[in-house]
Structure 1
Amino acid sequence: MGDCRVRNIYLLGVGFMLIFTAFTTCGNIEQTVIRSLTNTSFSGSGYDSLAIIYGVFSASNLVAPSVVTVVGPKMSMILSGVVYSGYVISFSKPMTWSLYIASTLIGFAAAVLWTAQGTFLIMNSDSATINRNTGTFWALLQCSMLFGNLYVYLQWREVMTISDNDRWTLFIVLSVISLAGTAVLVTLKDTKHADNSRQIFDTLLPSQTLFKEKVASTLDQIITEFRSMLRLIRTKNMMLLSVTIVYSGLMLTFYSGVYGTCIGATREFKMVAKGLIGLSGVFIGIGEILGGGMFGLLFFNNQFRRTSAILLGVIAHLLGFYLIFLMIPGDAPIASADSSHYKPYLSPSPVVALVCSFLLGLGDSCFNTQLYSIIGILYPEESGPAFGSFKFIQSVSAAVAFGYSNYLVLSLQLLILTIFCFFGTISFFIVEKIEANASDLQDF
């Protein structure tokens, strides 16, 4: 059983790595690709698409635990992976209506996918392995930042405008990679209980009376999961952690959609700007992988690891914010290089831009691995509702951030991030102290 669980964690990480190789690369270049379209009838916005995704994602998290309970975590992840592939392939021939429909569908699929992932991770972990498994999964997942973005850098490093053929080739390749990730999830093995999808199929075979009883039982499960999620959101620990989770959502928006757009809109980068977007994603991924590996695999003392990781994340992010503020034009998130009117305080340097990318990834990894770890420790028996609550809060903040990214200059966006970084860190430390005191009382 132990070997099966370890195998599941690695397969889970590899499957998500492939799926998000496609999706994160897509999000990183989405707004830049849209700005380069020659199709004058297209009127969509990459920021609006991502805002829709995270808006639907946030609302869908209210029902995602129920869906995972009924369908089962494995089948939930497989079906969601297919939807992710459909979203990526829609960029091979962008149309306004298809962009926004795909954005809506993937928002729902994302809520189901991440709730199922959190549930499956807890099912294959215990108090002795949760730290290792969280770090292993996170490090594998963040390898997704490397491959697609490296391709973008190699192919577009001297490209001023992205051609239709360049765009078509990239997104077809990414969609195939996403489907390969879904195929990996098919090979996962159930551990604690059989997949509920088989139980649903079996309800079609018995008598009509038994079928009605099964349906009623399923509805009871849905209502129970939904109530559990609402109850967890109102608990003291989750309310405190929500400040940290909001910050993680704001950071998700900044590093996955805004920062790459800022690099592409900085005229001082000239011919290397488009390729630098891809290389920036690679360095974000390196930071994510290093953080996941260092704090998930090397340090096993829970309290030391969590507090140390958060402090490192704060230092990395605040340093990165300061350098970005000095180096990137203030209107880069909302203007192209040709229409920018702001001058940076320091001369933009590709090397410093990549250092900032690394710092953003490292800090994000520190915060997210510790959130996964502490939620797994606090709610081991209610993993579905707990991770549903986590993703609900995170996606609401990400949707809001993508919404204001269309309008706020860079300095205001960095100020918002700095404020939530400070208060999110304080909130996390309070919860960590509460959890440590509770553990001491149990030991006593």
Structure 2
Amino acid sequence: MESVDSRDEEAPLVADSLQVLTPKNYTRDVHILSCAFLLIFLAYGAAQNLETTVNTEGNLGTISLGILYTSFTCFSLVASLVVRVLGSKNALILGTTGYWLFVAANLFPSWYTMVPASLYLGFAASIIWVGEGTYLTAAALSHASNHKLHEGTVIGSFNGEFWGMFASHQFVGNLITLAVLKDDKGGSTSGTTLLFIVFLGVITLGTILMCFLRKEEDKGEKETADASVNFYSYLVSLSKSITTLLADVRMLLIIPLFAYSGLQQAFVWAEFTKEIVTPALGVSGVGGAMAVYGAFDAIFLVELLLRWLYFSGF
């Protein structure tokens, strides 16, 4: 009888421990997502910095970047629809293929490889960023619900980790460029080929890592899976949303800031590397100069995030 009673007394302890483990912990997915984006964008960011320097014939590098971001702008209008149809995890994985193809096209740079790759990357970039925001927000809300935490606090914490890691991609990626091309002042084909092969391997690792994300099943995705998407209704809703935004004075006032940010990035990634860094330091110097740029960019971005979290009460 004493042994039976002792087993009965121990049973609730086992049940309690199992109950504690029941709620899903989504911090694992945030770690994976942050690391995957770091790997993908450290390779892409460093490759992008070299575009106008290594693909100079007919301004192929400059035109490719122009096509890329024009495509990105256009496809962003329908990116949310694509993400709702595919689901955020599938959209993230599909989005990585655009970055892989763009870097691969640099191994055989020509109008027949770079232009299609740039067009496709514009589409891939639009869905990967919408997918990232959707997935991260859904994971934060699920984590907050499972663990009885404040939603705003968890969203701020998850975004802080993601952007904190993402901020270092320029620094890390350009250090790789510097290391691979340090003895290649002229930017030989063999040196840049080896560099792009390394970047392909890094992006592949990031894509594989993305596959380990837990598939989100938020309400929006369930509704989309159950019902067919009415494209016409989506376009009507989209046009109304754009009209509403353009009628908002605050949005009109912030548009110049967006334009300035775009011009600043275009100057740094294209003209600064081509016309200032390369003549002075060579192609290998692009990696060193942009690594310094990336380090300070990361420092100030992290500081901005910390300030935002502090003043938001997170």
Which TM class, normalised by the smaller chain length? 0.7 to 0.9
For residues 215-271 of structure 1, give each alpha carbon's deviation from its aligned partner in whole angstroms, at most 9, with x where no partner exists: 3x45367446624642553234433333322222222222333322233343xx3xx
- Give, in whole Å, the separation in 2 of the partners of 1:18 and 1:256: 19
Name the counterpart of 2:17. Answer: none
Q: Does residue 306 of structure 2 align to residue 291 of structure 1?
A: no
What's the TM-score, normalizing by structure 1? 0.57
SS of corresponding position for 1:300 = helix
Cα distance change of structure 1 residues 144 and 78 upon mapping to structure 2, 3 Å threshold: same
Please list the CA deviations of residues 248-305 of structure 1 after superposition, one character each: whole Å capped at 9, or x if unmatched.
2222222333322233343xx3xx3322210122112212322232232466333699
Q: SS at 1:160's partner residue?
A: coil
Partner of 1:45: 60
2:176 maps to which residue?
Answer: 151
* CA 241–279 in structure 1, closer or farther in 2 if over 3 Å, else same: same
Q: Rate the CA distance shift 1:232–1:135 in 2: closer, same or farther, 3 A.
A: farther
Match of 1:277 among 279, 286, 295: 286
The CA distance in 2 between the partners of 1:304 and 1:254, in whole Å, is 36
Segments of 4+ moved more than 6 angstroms: none
Report whether the alignment pairs 1:103 with 2:118: yes
The structure-2 alpha-carbon separation of the partners of 1:283 and 1:105, relative to structure 1 and needing over 3 Å to count, comes to same
Q: Which amino acid aligns with 1:261?
A: K
Q: How does 1:127-138 map to 2 (within 5 A)?
A: 127-138=152-163
Amino acid at match of 2:245: I
Task: After superposition, give the CA deviation of every residue in 1:115-172 in whole Å (9 maximum; x if it has no partner).
Answer: 2222223323432234333332122112221333112212333433222211211111
Query: Are the aligned partners of 1:19 and 1:84 in contact in 2 as well (CA < 8 Å)?
Result: yes
Q: 1:186 aligns with which of 188, 195, 211?
A: 211
Residue 11 of structure 1 corresponds to 32
CA–CA distance in structure 2, aligned partners of residues 65 and 183 of structure 1: 24
On the 8 A contact 1:136/1:292 being kept in 2, the answer is no
Change in 2 beyond 3 A, CA 1:197/1:286: farther
Q: Could you say if the C-alpha distance between residues 288 and 101 of structure 1 is closer, same or farther in structure 2, counting changes exceeding 3 Å?
A: same
- Following the alignment from structure 1 to structure 2, what is the Cα–Cα distance between the partners of residues 195 and 15? 24
Aligned length: 282
- TM-score of the superposition, structure 2-length normalised? 0.78
Which ranges of structure 1 fall in alignment gaps of 5 or more residues?
36-41, 204-213, 306-444
Q: Is the alpha carbon distance of 1:83 and 1:66 closer, same or farther for their aligned partners in structure 2, counting shifts above 3 Å?
A: same
CA contact (8 A) 2:62 2:270 kept: yes
Aligned to 1:92, what secondary structure does the other structure show? coil
Residue 275 of structure 2: aligned partner: 262
Percent identity, aligned pairs only?
A: 23
SS in 1 for 2:152: coil
The 2-side partners of 1:68 and 1:265 are apart by 40
Q: Residues 57 and 65 of structure 1: is their aligned pair in 2 closer, same or farther, counting only changes over 3 Å?
A: same
Please identify, of 5-14 and 274-283, the stretch whose mean Cα deviation from structure 2 is larger.
5-14
1:85 deviates by 0.2
Per the alignment, residue 18 of structure 2 pairs with: none
Q: Rg bigger for which structure?
A: 2
Aligned twin of 2:309: 300
Cα 1:87–1:72 change in 2 (3 A) is same
Shift of 1:114: 1.3
Give the drift of 1:104. 0.8
The superposition leaves residues 161-198 of structure 1 with CA deviations (integer Å, 9 ceiling, x where unpaired) of: 22221121111111111121122222222456179499
Q: Structure 2 stretches of 5 or more lacking a match?
A: 1-21, 141-150
Alignment correspondent of 1:139: 164
State how far apart, in whole Å, the 1-side matches of 2:237 and 2:165 are: 29
Cross-structure match for 2:264: 251
Q: Does the alignment pair 1:226 with 2:238? A: yes
2:138 to 100, 116, 123: 123
1:22 partnered with 2:47? no
- Is the 8 Å Cα contact of residues 15 and 181 (structure 1) preserved in structure 2? yes
CA–CA distance in 1 between the matches of 2:238 and 2:204?
Answer: 31
